Amino acid sequence: MVTTNEKTAPAATTTSADLHSPTHHPLEAGHPLAAKPWMYRSRHIGPIYIPAYASPPFQLGMVAVVCFLCPGMFNALAGLGGGGQFDATTANNANVAVYSTFSVVGFFAGTFANRMGIKLTLSLGGIGYFIYIASFLSYNRNQNSGFPIFAGALLGVCAGLLWCAQGAIMMSYPPEASKGRYISWFWMIFNLGAVLGSLIPLGQNIHSSSGNVNDGTYIGFMVLTFCGAALAWFLVDARQVQRADGSHVVLMKHPTWQSELLGLLETLKTDSWVVFLFPMFFASNWFYTYQFNVVNLARFNVRTRALNGVLYWLSQIIGAYIFGYALDISRVRRSLRAKAAWAVLFIITMAIWGGGYAWQMQYTRAETSAEDYVKMDWTSSGYVGPMFLYMFYGFYDAAWQTCVYWFMGALTNNGRKLTNFAGFYKGIQSAGTAIIFRIDALKAPFMNEFASCWGLLAGSLLVALPLILMKVRDTVPLKDDIKFSDETMEEVMPTVTHDHEEAKVH
């Protein structure tokens, strides 16, 4: 049986001019839609509760599915090492192109997202993933490396837009006390895409011991990425989103290109402490090249790489769940939770990468590049140890990403500012990724790549410590969030006293 729940809008009078104003929120008192259009109704289908279409949980779920289908398939392909090819050179060069343009567009993507809106930015961003995977299908047939490199450069532009919009939604839509859970929900659904994406090459190549995947793998990825790009068009605009307590996302009512370019600079001026997180941004994807190419591609055959990919992304789901929910423990003050998260990150950095050092001591690039080198299969003796190490690498990645997003979200609730934070994060992250892919393409020694990963991760945590200690507050007052917007407190503040919807979905 399907039932619907509607929130009652407070009674008030509204002028005709107000009703036609583009800044008037759809559920404000007196608006014709205050009687609840379909997107503002929550539903029950038997015991299953479905949040309202324009609510933060539902919108975040849709964004997670878009990323499940687009970046999730990209990650599944990347996790095979070398884009699923026997030799990683072309994939490395394509990834240099991806992250070079990503780093530039990503840093300034907050301006585009704030001006164009989250929905358009995200939908445009999904297109590049389809074209990128199509380029590897082409390469599998004609060995033309120019197409993957061009597609990589285009994907960098598209991904910069997509990830900026995604970060803004994930950090600015949820209530302040729920940001860890929202981050974990996104990360779990997103990485489920990589899990299922890794099952495609596993099923396609389960009886193969060759070095590269077949055409069917790429075609499967193309179908899924196209669906993801199409789904993004069904999101609602950020201004239409209403939380269960009646509050709205803090935005600019009248953004212009000039206001958003200046807003980018103003963010760095008013929140200059965010630069202490920049090294963590830089390190956050640096280790992917090492894990995918140096660990997975170098040592394992194609079917075992696919299995490793499934386990890696499953471990990410576990890591995101544990860290996301731990970061929202209400019994502990948020400032104390931030310090505890930093300490746990530092401990597992030493423990997991210490185990990685013992593994890396066993082989070199020269050994694994030899023509007669036999790659490890899951039936090989000694496989269990590196399998668990690879799973811990996946767990660690989710822990790192979840904490970085949560740290940013703890600094402000302003959607405009968090969009810029997300752009800084993805831009700087991508600059680091472009550099390490190029280093790997130049055939750097494996141990050098490993040392750069461990050193950057540990060092960036030390740089971030002053911000964690002094700038993460237990709450950010609404009056502080409004300062970076042309909205008023009355337009965005809560209108009901109890968050029924959050209670249900949590």
pLDDT band at 7 (very low <50, low <70, confident <90, very high): very low
Residue 29, pLDDT score? 45
Q: How confident is the model at residue 352 (pLDDT cuts 50, 70, 90)?
A: very high
Q: What letter represents residue 21's amino acid?
A: S
Residues in the chain: 506
Query: In this structure, are residues 357 and 454 in contact, taking their beta carbons and an 8 Å threshold?
Result: yes
118: left (phi over 0), alpha (psi -120 to 50) or beta: alpha
Please give the pLDDT value at position 77. Answer: 76
pLDDT tens sequence across 466-487: 999 999 999 988 787 777 665 6
Could you read off the pLDDT of 57-88 as tens digits, one per residue?
Answer: 999 999 999 998 898 888 777 766 555 554 56
Token pair listed for 167: 């970060």
- Mean pLDDT, the chain, rounded, equals 82
Supply 216's token pair. 């069917």
Is residue 452 a contact partner of residue 437, using CB atoms and an 8 Å limit? Answer: no
Q: For residue 431, what are its two tokens? A: 């600059």
pLDDT in tens, 437-473: 889 888 899 999 999 999 999 999 999 999 999 999 9
**Torsion angle, alpha carbons of 383, 389, 393, 398, to 10:** 100
If pLDDT is split at 50, 70 and 90, which confidence band does 331 have?
very high
**Residue labelled with tokens 């929905």:** 119
Q: What pLDDT does residue 288 have?
A: 92
Cross-sheet strand order for the sheet of 2-5: 2-5, 42-45, 48-50
Report pLDDT for 165.
86
pLDDT tens digit sequence for 238-295: 888 888 877 877 776 656 777 777 778 888 888 889 999 999 999 999 999 999 989 9
The Cβ of residue 376 has, within 10 Å, a number of other Cβ atoms equal to 17
Please work out, in degrees rounded to the nearest 5, the angle formed at the alpha carbon of residue 281 by the alpha carbons of 167 and 431.
100
CA distance 32 to 22: 14
pLDDT tier for residue 496 given thresholds of 50, 70 and 90: low
Among 165, 7, 30, smallest CA distance to 502 is for 7
- The better pLDDT of the pair 36, 164 is held by 164
Alpha helices in 290-414 (DSSP H): 298-299, 302-326, 334-360, 365-369, 384-409
Residue 356 has pLDDT above 50, yes or no: yes
Per-residue pLDDT of 17-57, as tens digits, reads: 333 333 444 444 444 444 457 788 888 888 888 888 889 99
Percent of the chain with pLDDT over 90: 37
CB-neighbour burial class of residue 418 (10 A; exposed 0-12, middle 13-18, buried 19+): buried
* Cα(8)–Cα(6) distance, integer angstroms: 6
Q: Is the pLDDT of residue 504 over 60?
A: no
Of 409, 381, 459, give the one whose Cα is nearest residue 178: 409
Mean pLDDT (whole number) for 235-239: 84
Whether the pLDDT of residue 204 is over 80: the answer is no
pTM of full prediction above 0.85: no
The number of angstroms, rounded, from the C-alpha of 151 to the middle of its chain's C-alpha atoms is 21
Answer yes or no: is pLDDT of 388 > 80: yes
Structure-block tokens of residue 174:
């949820």
Question: Quick one: CA dihedral 150, 151, 154, 160, positive or negative?
Answer: negative
Q: What is the pLDDT of residue 109?
A: 82
Burial 287-318 (b: 16+ CB within 10 A, else e): bbbbbbbbbbbbbbbbbbbbbbbbbbbbbbbb
pLDDT at 294 (0 to 100) = 93
pLDDT score of 138: 87
* Lowest-confidence segment of 1-15, 81-95, 202-216, 341-355 by average pLDDT: 1-15
User: DSSP labels for 190-232?
Assistant: HHHHHHHHHHHHHHHTTT--SSS--HHHHHHHHHHHHHHHHHG
- pLDDT(325) > 90: yes
